[in-house]
């Protein structure tokens, strides 16, 4: 068999994680991107820097502080304990929360650029026709920003698939729970199973190429951010 059952399990877990994170960030990232694109607040730069921080922050640093926050003595850990959810570290949903923070700029920044490119004129015209700000957002801004949503979704999905440092720090290496594809490749290399590592790495390489090919074919020059793992 080209891939073992464990390899396939890790791939499906990775896809599940990436889909959930992308959907969550579509909901969470859209209002953040809209505010950053339209706000005149002095705090805009501060919030923009916070959103972009995962682009330059070492994943181990982000993972460490998320681990502290989600631990039993952290604010998130305290909240989940009060709600009866239990501890999030070394669980799938802990991976989801960490991945949401780590992939946030890959959703927000393309959407912010898409909203900024719309300009004021279409929204002003909608207002003169009696549309409320909320109506104008859903009937004018969202349709005009559709290419940005596609770009942001593809980048977020692909970035989540390729995560390593953060997911290893938060999720550990539990089969079927937190052992995603990148961690599975690492395990093969540690065990000197280079043939298996090559197969998994080849699958991820082909996947990454196809994702970027689709992105560039849809919107040339859309990829303006770099990853750091």
Q: How confident is the model at residue 225 (pLDDT cuts 50, 70, 90)?
A: very low
Residue 86 domain-assigned? yes
Domain that includes residue 198, residue range: 5-218
Any idea what the CATH number is for the domain that residue 95 is in? 1.10.3720.10
Cα distance between residue 204 and residue 181, in whole Å: 8
Among residues of the chain, what percentage have pLDDT more than 70? Answer: 94
Q: If you average pLDDT over residues 152-180, what whole number do you get?
A: 88
Residue 17 domain-assigned? yes
Number of H helices, E strands in the chain: 12, 0
Residue 223 domain-assigned? no
Three-state SS across 189-225? HHCCCHHHHHHHHHHHHHHHHHHHHHHHHHCCCCCCC
Residue 227 domain-assigned? no
Residue 209 domain-assigned? yes
Q: How confident is the model at residue 219 (pLDDT cuts 50, 70, 90)?
A: low
Cα distance between residue 13 and residue 167, in whole Å: 12
Cα distance between residue 64 and residue 62, in whole Å: 5
Residue 121 domain-assigned? yes
Cα distance between residue 168 and residue 174, in whole Å: 10
Indicate the average pLDDT of the chain. 87
Q: Which of 203, 200, 225 is nearest to 215 (CA)?
A: 225
CA angle 182, 56, 18 (to 5 degrees): 35
pLDDT digit string, tens, across residues 30-81: 999 999 999 888 889 899 999 999 999 888 899 899 999 998 888 998 888 8
Nearby residues of 101 by Cβ (< 8 Å), 6 or more positions away: 54, 62, 66
State how many domains the chain has.
1
Q: If you average pLDDT over residues 132-158, what whole number do you get?
A: 90
pLDDT at 203: 87
Residue 60 domain-assigned? yes
pLDDT over 80 (residue 229): no
Cα distance between residue 210 and residue 9, in whole Å: 21
Nearby residues of 97 by Cβ (< 8 Å), 6 or more positions away: 66, 70, 76, 88, 170
Residue 228 domain-assigned? no
Q: Which pTM value belongs to this model?
A: 0.87
Q: If you average pLDDT over residues 15-24, what whole number do you get?
A: 95
Q: Which of 15-29, 169-183, 204-218 has the highest mean pLDDT?
A: 15-29
Q: Are 70 and 89 in contact (CB under 8 A)?
A: yes
């Amino acid at each position: 068999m080209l891939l073992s059952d464990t390899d396939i399990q890790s791939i499906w877990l990775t896809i599940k994680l990436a889909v959930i994170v992308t959907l969550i960030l579509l909901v969470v990232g859209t209002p953040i991107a809209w505010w950053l694109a339209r706000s005149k607040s002095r705090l805009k730069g501060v919030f923009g820097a916070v959103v972009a921080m995962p682009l330059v922050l070492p994943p181990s640093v982000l993972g460490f502080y998320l681990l502290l926050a989600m631990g039993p003595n952290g604010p998130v850990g305290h909240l989940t304990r009060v709600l009866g959810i239990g501890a999030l570290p070394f669980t799938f949903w802990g991976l989801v929360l960490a991945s949401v923070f780590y992939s946030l700029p890959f959703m927000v920044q393309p959407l912010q650029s898409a909203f900024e490119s719309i300009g004021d004129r279409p929204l002003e015209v909608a207002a003169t026709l009696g549309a409320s700000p909320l109506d104008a957002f859903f009937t004018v801004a969202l349709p005009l920003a559709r290419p940005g949503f596609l770009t942001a979704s593809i980048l977020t999905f692909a970035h989540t698939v390729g995560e390593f440092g953060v997911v290893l720090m938060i999720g550990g290496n539990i089969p079927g729970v937190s052992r995603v594809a990148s961690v599975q490749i690492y395990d093969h290399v540690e065990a000197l199973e280079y043939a298996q590592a090559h197969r998994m790495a080849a699958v991820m390489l082909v996947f990454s190429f196809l994702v970027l090919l689709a992105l560039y074919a849809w919107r040339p020059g859309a990829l303006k951010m770099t990853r750091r793992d």
